[in-house]
Amino acid sequence: MKVIGALAFAVLLLAVMASAVAVVWARHQGRVAFVQLTQLQNQRDDLNVEYGRLELEQATWAAPGRVEQIARGQLGMIDPAPDQVELIRQ
């Protein structure tokens, strides 16, 4: 009877120890996942800021006034004279 009690005690002790290790491991994994989540959120925020900056830069480069200025200055383009304009009807 004492042997069965000692064996039961050993099994229960082993189960408690395994449970404790599992709890510690699960908490560690949760902390690792939280740190990774925080890093990814920071990366997302940085990318959103960069995307906004790039949208602003694109809007600046594609502004009609700037395109016209480059067309006139670098490409030598001018508005056609009224007699050079032909209206095409469909």
Residue 7's domain comprises 2-76
Q: How far apart are CA 72 and CA 78, in angstroms?
A: 6
Asked if residue 44 is part of any domain, the answer here is yes
Please give the pLDDT value at position 1: 75
Please give the pLDDT value at position 10: 94
User: What pLDDT tens digit does each residue of the chain (90 aa) get?
Assistant: 788 989 999 999 999 999 999 999 999 999 999 999 999 999 999 999 999 999 999 999 999 989 899 988 998 998 889 889 988 998
Question: Taking the model in full, what pTM does it have?
Answer: 0.61
Residues 6+ apart with CB under 8 A from 72: 78
Asked if residue 81 is part of any domain, the answer here is no
**Could you give the dihedral angle defined by the CA atoms of residues 7, 8, 10 and 14, in that order, rounded to the nearest 10 degrees?**
140
Number of structural domains, the chain? 1
The string of DSSP letters for 5-59 reads HHHHHHHHHHHHHHHHHHHHHHHHHHHHHHHHHHHHHHHHHHHHHHHHHHHHHHH
Asked if residue 43 is part of any domain, the answer here is yes
Segment 8-28, tens digit of pLDDT: 999 999 999 999 999 999 999
Asked if residue 88 is part of any domain, the answer here is no
